[in-house]
Structure 1
Amino acid sequence: MSRHVAIVTDSTAYLPQQAMERHDIATVPLTVVIGGRALEEGNEISARSLAQALAKRRPVTTSRPSPATFAAAYRSAAEAGATGIVSLHLSAEISGTHDAAVLAAKDAPVPVRVVDTGMVAMALGFCALAAAEVAEAGGSLDEAVAAAEKRAAGTSAYFYVDTLDYLRRGGRIGAAQALLGSALAVKPLLQLAGGRIELLEKVRTASRAIARLEEIAVERAGAGPVDIAVHHLATPDRAESLAGRLRERVPGLGELHVSEVGAVIGAHTGPGLLGAVISPR
């Protein structure tokens, strides 16, 4: 990291590898624990392996990075020439990752601004890209933070899951909401709101839920310049189909990323996830 402001995020941003390399964004991995074995997301476990473990009903949990892991990332950035670091992470409402970063930042060799984006997946990734672009243009630490916070404030994330059971088990959605989603075989649409995962709508069938997800994405995107990410877990055909329709229907579309989520988010959503992140420029 040769520029004076370095960007650090975590593995739940699910940024394309090419984008991370192009913008020199460092990533700190979260951990997935399967049957008592701890595995680093992105390095030691794939989404496919996670889906197989879930299908076999093996016990799966997740955990935040340690403060020591963040401290090592901050030292590495400083040694590479950074005089300040923006550390951007998934919502503190659903993970202790932000808290671990805050602890590590206290003893970092250069100033570190830790930002709770209130986001996850490419909703977080777009924030990291916004900060990186400002840093690359010679912006200050405060300016890079402001760019990330502005992007977060305008970004929306919506997603469909086949069942709320995985979110309920992981404590990421309330039991009452999970019961509502399970009643009468209703298919749930969810959103990130205030950094939390909340039930947005209940739709009768999977096909109608996915069609409704598309409509919400198009409405939210509007006519102005916007970047979109389509995420999935073990449903690539659904994702490519949705992405193709959004390409046709969103006039101001800039970047469109289609990717499978990693093991950490997949552990809480289960196979069948289909998500849309809408991020106006």
Structure 2
Amino acid sequence: MAVIVVTDSSSTLPSDVVAQNNIRVVPLHVLHNGNDLREGVDEIPSAVWRSNGVSTAGASPEELREVFDKAVRDSGGDGVVGIFLSRKLSSTWEAAHQAASDIGSAVRVVDSRAAAFSLAFVVQAAAVAANRGATRDEVYDTAVDAANRTSSFVYVNQLDNLRRGGRIGAASALLGTALAIKPVLQLEDGALGIREKTRTATKAINRLIDISVETARQKEHVSIAVQHLEAEDRARDVLARVTARLEGFHATYITDLGAVLGVHLGPGAISVSMFARREF
């Protein structure tokens, strides 16, 4: 058998990648009007992005323990590596750590310090290593190494969602005083903070592109993913403008941000994730 990789639904991994690599995905939760909706399992109405009564929740220790238990059995004794949304953004890592402790040494848990497709890049790297016959510890080390080679930047079209969700950390003062600001955010060491402050959407998108290009030029074999919430045309334009300024890149992706991240970032958000692949 092989080591099995487990992640959460915020990774927004394409279903074919999940199936091909035998990745197990644990749903996160959107709580709306008294309903507990599982991301990737239940139908989640787009109205939740604009609702004042919506929140999100991580996977519980019980949910994760059930998935880990089955994955350990299915691995034939090779073990499990769980790779989850940054612990600074979600309770899921803590729940996974608790569940893994209950099971024992067969499960190791990684704090990706990532989100969205940056998390997907880490999960894919680990799954590729697992499928090549790497041991549980080697898959764990691959995931930790991959996490160090990701970068994430986000344009937020409106700040209301971030203010309600409380995921902005040290930049919270901005949310109380400057709702006209169009920020570019950066995920750094697992926390979301302000990278640039602009006054218009056009300037913010231009800065998002500039920062992404500058970052990509510092990497080799870079893969780029642009994600969006209700802004596919703008996302495609961002990807086209970024890649037009680069001499080479490994792969590109366009996809949506998913329900849980969408609740916190709001309609119109654009995320650029980058990953410097190791060539084997």
TM-score by length of 1: 0.92
Deviation at 1:250, TM superposition (A): 2.5
Match of 2:30 among 32, 36, 39: 32
Q: Which amino acid in structure 2 is aligned with residue 213 of structure 1?
A: L
How many residues align? The count is 273
Q: Which amino acid in structure 2 is aligned with residue 35 of structure 1?
A: N
SS of 1:241's equivalent in the other structure is helix
Summarize the Cα distance change of 1:131–1:14 in structure 2 as closer, same or farther, 3 Å threshold: same
How far apart, in 2, do the equivalents of 1:20 and 1:218 lie? 29
Q: Which runs of 5+ in 1 are unaligned?
A: none
SS of 2:250's equivalent in the other structure is strand
Deviation at 1:146, TM superposition (A): 1.2
SS of 2:7's equivalent in the other structure is strand
How far apart, in 1, do the equivalents of 2:205 and 2:15 lie? 28
* Number of the residue aligned with 1:200: 195
* Number of the residue aligned with 1:77: 71
Q: Which runs of 5+ in 2 are unaligned?
A: none
Residues 72 and 106, structure 2, Cα contact 8 Å, conserved in 1: no
Q: Which amino acid in structure 2 is aligned with residue 255 of structure 1?
A: A
Identity %: 38
Runs (4+) of structure 1 exceeding 6 A deviation are none
* Number of the residue aligned with 2:221: 225
Residues 82 and 110, structure 2, Cα contact 8 Å, conserved in 1: yes
Residues 78 and 110, structure 1, Cα contact 8 Å, conserved in 2: no
Deviation at 1:18, TM superposition (A): 1.2
* Number of the residue aligned with 1:21: 19
SS of 1:39's equivalent in the other structure is strand
Match of 2:167 among 172, 182, 194: 172
Q: Which amino acid in structure 1 is aligned with residue 176 of structure 2?
A: L
Deviation at 1:215, TM superposition (A): 1.1
How far apart, in 1, do the equivalents of 2:84 and 2:178 lie? 28
Matched, 1:64 2:61: no
SS of 1:253's equivalent in the other structure is coil
Deviation at 1:71, TM superposition (A): 1.2
Which deviates the most, 262-271 or 109-118? 109-118
Deviation at 1:120, TM superposition (A): 0.7
* Number of the residue aligned with 2:267: 271
SS of 2:185's equivalent in the other structure is strand
* Number of the residue aligned with 2:247: 251
Q: Which amino acid in structure 1 is aligned with residue 74 of structure 2?
A: A
Match of 1:139 among 134, 138, 141: 134
Matched, 1:114 2:112: no
1:93-132 matched pairs, under 5 angstroms: 93-108=88-103, 111-132=106-127
Residues 23 and 132, structure 1, Cα contact 8 Å, conserved in 2: yes
Residues 229 and 276, structure 1, Cα contact 8 Å, conserved in 2: yes
What RMSD in Å do the two structures reach over aligned CA positions? 1.5
* Number of the residue aligned with 2:43: 45
Residues 158 and 267, structure 2, Cα contact 8 Å, conserved in 1: no
Summarize the Cα distance change of 1:179–1:109 in structure 2 as closer, same or farther, 3 Å threshold: closer
Residues 48 and 263, structure 2, Cα contact 8 Å, conserved in 1: no
SS of 2:158's equivalent in the other structure is coil
Q: Which amino acid in structure 2 is aligned with residue 176 of structure 1?
A: A
Residues 190 and 199, structure 1, Cα contact 8 Å, conserved in 2: yes
How far apart, in 2, do the equivalents of 1:202 and 1:177 lie? 10
